[in-house]
Amino acid sequence: MPVSLSNETLGQLPSRVEPPPFDRRTVKAGIAHIGVGAFHRAHLAIYTNRVLADQDMRDWGILGINLLEHDGPLADALTAQDGLYSVSEFDSKGARTTHLVGAMVDYLYAPRDGSRVLDRLADPSIRIVSLTITEGGYLIDEHGNFRVGDDTVAHDLAHPDSPRGVFGYLVGALERRRAAGIPAFTLMSCDNLRHNGAQAKKAVLAFARARSPELAEWIERQVDFPNAMVDRITPATTPAVREQLNAATGLDDQAPVVCEDFIQWVLEDTFRHGRPAWERHGVQIVSDVSPYEDAKIRLLNGSHQMLSYPAFLAGHRRVDVAVKDPLFNRYLSDFLDHDAGVWLSSLPGMDLGPYKKKLLERFSNASIADQLDRLCLDGGSKIPGFLGPTLTACLEHGRDARRLAFLLAAFDRYVRVGKDDNGEAYPLREPNAMRLVQPLIDSDSKDTLIESVELVGPLPARDPRFRKQYDTCVEALSSHGVRWTLERLDALLD
């Protein structure tokens, strides 16, 4: 009989599952995490699960918080399971290790209990509030400005006691702390976003200024916003994967997570109100995370985007299968070596040559069955951050950027055509940047994308060679499809 998860069943776990390495009854929440998705549960929560084994760390449990209506089923599962869930890590040979994660000792779902979320965020026991709200969730436009006109922002400014969005909750809780003389919390972004702490600071201060200039000044003085680089490939858990995991583990877990065995976190040490000793358990604490995040975002996230649309349009659906396709493997290797990698140098503890090789090995991990449609999701938010810096650097220095021209042509086709090269239709999922993508859909011109400063920056439309490469790729993709075009890319563009 599969074991359902709850505090009462912790002593009944199958031998195939590692229990939490601490007594949950001794743990209190000192971290509130907003955006409890698969990545958080496989990353920050894993490191915190480890650190809670230390006797002096028991005040650093996690209060999980979800804000979005579509998180209702996950909220039901985590509530029923007392915040417990399993994480199954697979290495490249298919070996599985399953941990039962007990770090989330409390959980709140804001659409049902928003007032309690504000109360808990204002509680002095919460000293860190962490975020995984996706790249587009920070509402920063192409000019680096916070989108104060966003509908949710406008609602939260007008209804401060009943917010819906993350910044309404954060600033509302900080306002309560200030009024009560309670120290501020540290705000820690865990999103795949360059300078994620600085971006969080920009968004929070902009929202706060719209609410109260005096409050914004207090936040700027009192709140730390450390930058971080986070890394772990964590596919979405489909119903079929959930059934497979539960069959393998002997659990009846309604919220399991599957991920690779690789994990990395590089974190700036800016926590005046304290933090867990994560460095005891594998986190790299540094004074400046910028070079590490630049390398990871350009190489790993950039490669994911380079692979996503072309491989999906060519008919592939799994990342590992696409990367093992010699055509796409060579294409990604060339991108790493000749496009993204040339702007980076080796970092302490991170040699770039082996790192690039390791990336392709990680992408090839068949055990986690990562899906290309996950990589295609939210391209309007991802392309500017993950590929924009490399594209800009190439064009500023007069470097040939043909693979990037090919990628943009594939994105244009993915967005505007809605069918792959085999005629199979697919849904377009752009939850955070549809305002940027909709003009592409509405336009009959291939030029709409390359002339979108918000999506690709100002240089592509001004560079005659790049623009011609893009035009050629658009035409070739339309006439012959992805494989034909990629096989002849050099001949077409030389």
Mean pLDDT of 343-348: 80
pLDDT digits (tens, 9 = 90+) for 427-459: 999 988 899 999 999 998 999 999 999 999 999
Regarding whether 204 and 105 lie in a shared domain, the answer is yes
Q: Give the pLDDT of residue 433.
A: 86
282 and 325 assigned to the same domain: no
Record the tokens describing residue 90, joined without a space: 């697979």
Q: Which residues pair with 304 in a beta bridge?
A: none
- Same domain for 365 and 245, yes or no, is no
- Report the distance separating Cα 121 and Cα 63, nearest Å: 9
Percent of the chain surpassing pLDDT 90? 93
Q: How many domains does the chain have?
A: 2
- Retrieve residue 243's tokens: 């059934």
Give me the phi and psi of 428, to 5 degrees please.
Answer: -95, 125
Asked if pLDDT for residue 346 goes beyond 80, the answer is no
Q: Quick one: pLDDT at residue 141?
A: 86
Residue 349 has pLDDT above 80, yes or no: no
Mean of per-residue pLDDT scores for the chain: 96
Work out the average pLDDT over 380-405: 96
Parallel/antiparallel/unpaired status of strands 264-268 and 284-286:
parallel
262 and 327: one domain? no
State how far Cα 411 lies from the chain centre: 20
Here the tokens at position 425 are 């239709």
Phi/psi-derived region of residue 250, left when phi > 0, alpha when psi is between -120 and 50, beta in every other case: left
pLDDT score of 348 more than 90 = no
pLDDT in tens, 396-423: 999 999 999 999 999 999 999 999 999 9
Span 366-395, average pLDDT: 95
Mean pLDDT of 91-98: 94
CATH of residue 488's domain is: 1.10.1040.10
300 and 270 in a common domain: no
177 and 53, same structural domain? Answer: yes
Whether 350 has a pLDDT exceeding 80, the answer reads no
Q: Residue 109 corresponds to which amino acid? A: Y
pLDDT (mean) for 208-237: 97
- Same-domain status, 43 and 147: yes
The stretch 317-342 carries a mean pLDDT of: 97
pLDDT at 39 over 80: yes
Name the helix (H) or strand (E) containing 279: none
Q: Are residues 304 and 219 in the same domain?
A: no
d(CA 217, CA 436): 32
- Return the CATH number at 216: 3.40.50.720
Q: Same domain for 281 and 353? A: no
Percent of the chain residues past pLDDT 70, beyond the cut: 100
Spatial CB neighbours of 3, under 8 Å, sequence gap ≥ 6: 9, 12, 13, 14, 250, 251, 252
Q: Give the global pTM.
A: 0.89
Does position 284 have pLDDT exceeding 90, yes or no? yes
Rounded Cα distance between 387 and 220, Å, is 31
Last residue in a domain, options 260, 286, 312: 286
Domain that holds residue 103: 3-286
Check if the beta carbon of residue 476 is closer than 8 Å to that of residue 485: yes
Report the amino acid identity of residue 80.
A
Which of 237, 271, 286 finishes a domain? 286
Return the closest-CA partner of residue 27 out of 101, 79, 115, 80: 101
Residue at which a domain ends, from 239, 270, 286: 286
State yes or no: pLDDT of 4 exceeds 80.
yes
Question: Are 440 and 384 in the same domain?
Answer: yes
DSSP assignment, residue 2? Answer: P
Rounded Cα–Cα distance for residues 293 and 271 (Å):
19
